[in-house]
Structure 1
Amino acid sequence: MRLFAVSAFALATLATPAFAQDSTSTFTGPRAEVVGGWDHVGSEGDGTSGFSYGGALGYDAQVGRAVIGAEAEITGATTEENGVGAGRDLYLGGRIGFVAMPNTLVYAKGGLTNARFDVAGLGSGTTDGYRFGGGVEHDFGRFYGKVEYRYSRYEEVNLNRDQVMAGLGIRF
């Protein structure tokens, strides 16, 4: 958790000079980011909330105002109830979007997810599922910030996961 906070602070500090830029952005190239936000895991209206944190790598290509990309992410979570906790979550997927304003991308995303759930006294297990969602990304030059909602479904264990995440990243 401390590593996430320090990374986010360092990234925000480095991005500060870029906030003044007024050039038209390009959303093309490899990117790396840290993410964190609200995490809710449950089934049929029940569940518990916590904090999710992690990082992602991706690549985007912009053609005109359209953007298409691929991404991979790993997160952890503090979400726990009655001895059952959400562990790490692996995600591999893609996104498609459009440049709504010169420096702002609106996108939808989807892909596959693999989550680990830890049960006190019994150990842990993994389950596969799917994820879809959407978000808004704003470019500050080489750095960017984003906010997104995502929904994950794990049919095998009848669990849903809702997340609202914020991210800070750098485009190479």
Structure 2
Amino acid sequence: MKLAILAGAVAAVTLASPALAQEDRTAGGKFIAGAIVGLDSVETEFDGISESEEDVVLGLTAGYDYETESGIVFGIEAEYTDSSVGVSATDFDVPGDRVSVNAGRDLYVGGRLGFRPGRNGILYVKAGYTDASIEGEYDDGTGEISDEVSFGGVRLGAGGEIDLSSNYAIRLEYRYSDYGNLELFGTDTGLGVSRNQGIITLLGKF
């Protein structure tokens, strides 16, 4: 998924750069805000065995970008997304038991660094901190218990941005988030949680 998204972003920016019309000067600072839609794939891994499940992710983003005269872009951004992805694993503690993990809201704050290969496009990388809310359920065959926790991780991403006009743009982006091991009921379950996302963002720039 990530290779297809990155290749699509590079191709879109490269092809769009000479074709779209906008103001000649792009340097300076702008506030940005936008709506996010994409595919969310949450993966759990335990004892070398991994499972994943995909669903739609929706959200909002806001931030600030500054572009130099040479076309280097520096940005900061915050993001709120929500997903209904759920994954489960069996036999992770005792034979026949089952643990399920359901993703909830995800908060992100981080930075972007990019460059403008043409007048109407930007290629960029990003990194930051992500805090996910996850609900866990455990059933050992004698009863079920549940817990909801939030825990942090690191997000890395890359993508392309195409200017639709001087005040609007669209992004195609891949990002990977690693949350480490899931802790439920005050115990480290040893269940590693990560997610891959491919998203499209429609941005306004002001």
Comparing both structures, which one devotes a greater share of its residues to helix?
A: 1
- Cα deviation, residue 111, structure 1: 0.3
Aligned to 2:125: 108
State the TM-score, normalized to the length of structure 1: 0.83
Q: Is the radius of gyration larger for structure 1 or structure 2? A: 2
Structure 1: stretches of 5+ with no match in the other structure: 1-18
- Cα deviation, residue 50, structure 1: 0.7
- Corresponding letter in the other structure for 1:136: G
- Cα deviation, residue 21, structure 1: 3.5
8 Å Cα contact 2:51-2:87 kept in structure 1: no
- Cα deviation, residue 124, structure 1: 1.4
Residue deviations 1:31-65 (CA, integer Å, cap 9, x gap) = 00001101011134421111111000010000121
CA distance in 2, matches of 1:24, 1:48: 44
User: Structure 1 residue 147 and structure 2 residue 147: aligned?
Assistant: no
- Cα deviation, residue 25, structure 1: 5.8
Q: How many residues align?
A: 154
Aligned to 2:73: 67
- Cα deviation, residue 140, structure 1: 1.4
Aligned to 1:37: 38
Aligned to 1:125: 149
Q: Which runs of 4 or more aligned residues in structure 1 lie more than 3 Å from their structure 2 counterparts after TM superposition? A: 19-25
- Corresponding letter in the other structure for 2:202: L
Q: Percent identity?
A: 32
User: Structure 1 residue 168 and structure 2 residue 202: aligned?
Assistant: yes
User: Structure 1 residue 51 and structure 2 residue 68: aligned?
Assistant: no
8 Å Cα contact 2:44-2:87 kept in structure 1: no
State the TM-score, normalized to the length of structure 2: 0.70
- Which stretch of structure 1 is more off in the superposition, 30-39 or 155-164? 155-164
CA distance in 1, matches of 2:51, 2:72: 38
CA distance in 1, matches of 2:177, 2:53: 15
CA distance in 2, matches of 1:61, 1:116: 31
- Cα deviation, residue 85, structure 1: 1.2
